[in-house]
Amino acid sequence: MAARTGEGWAAIVGAGYQLISELGYAGATTARICARAGVSSGTFFHYFPTKIDLLVGILQADAADAALRADAFADAATDSAPAALRTWLGALLEESADPHLAGFVAALGSAPSDARVAELLTSAAALQHKTLVAIVSAGQRQGNWRSDLTAERLALWIGVVADGVLSRSVEDPSFDAAAAASELGDLLARYLAP
């Protein structure tokens, strides 16, 4: 795949994410993606030799953004783990409100099998866990949170809750996670309380 630079690459990734979400993997043809992105088919194929390469590119772009956010959360946790957890929770709720999330998740299930996709999804889950461990560990060191369980174990269960929020957002269009933000924050605060 060509280097990930330039407006063309970003436009194709953005258009691909939207159209795959709206029309499914099969329905999001390269011609439609090119039209939405405002690029030629030559530009598309310069960056993405196949449509599955585009799907991988979308996941890679998300992984790069997630890695930057993870570093920011870990840095923020050294000053205030509770504030870092609230910021992380805000990002989770923002992701759950993405109108394209449900369609994209469904499209992932219908896309051709590709080891790179599976690897990127596994890496995303591992990064979430690592981020939560960093936040929880900092909170334990700061004396804010319980220490009867390891940071690994606490992070595991926070991750389960997060996955549940995202799953519910995907499965139930009427579910508004943001409306329940205070309840979710209270749930985590009670779970983490010393």
pLDDT of amino acid 70: 96
Give CA–CA dist 68/8, Å, rounded.
Answer: 22
What's residue 6's pLDDT? 72
Side-chain-side CA neighbours of 178 within 13 Å: the count stands at 9
Distance (Å, rounded) from C-alpha 104 to C-alpha 32? 16
Q: pLDDT at position 1, please?
A: 42
Q: What's the pTM?
A: 0.90
Q: Given phi > 0 = left and psi -120 to 50 = alpha, else beta, which region is 143? A: left
Query: For position 73, what pLDDT does the model report?
Result: 97
Q: pLDDT tens, position by position, for the chain (194 residues)?
A: 445 567 899 999 999 999 999 999 999 999 999 999 999 999 999 999 999 999 999 999 999 999 999 999 999 999 999 999 999 999 999 999 999 999 999 999 989 999 999 999 999 999 999 999 999 999 999 999 999 999 999 999 999 999 999 999 999 989 998 898 999 999 999 999 99
Task: Report how far Cα 83 is from the mean position of its chain's Cα atoms.
Answer: 20
Q: Tell me how far apart the alpha carbons of residues 73 and 84 are, in angstroms, rounded to a whole number.
A: 6
At 5 the pLDDT is 60
CATH superfamily of 55-192: Tetracycline Repressor, domain 2 (1.10.357.10)
In Å, how far from its chain's centre is CA 29?
24
Q: What is the token pair recorded at 171?
A: 């499965």
| Domain residue spans of the chain | 55-192
Tokens of 65: 């953004």
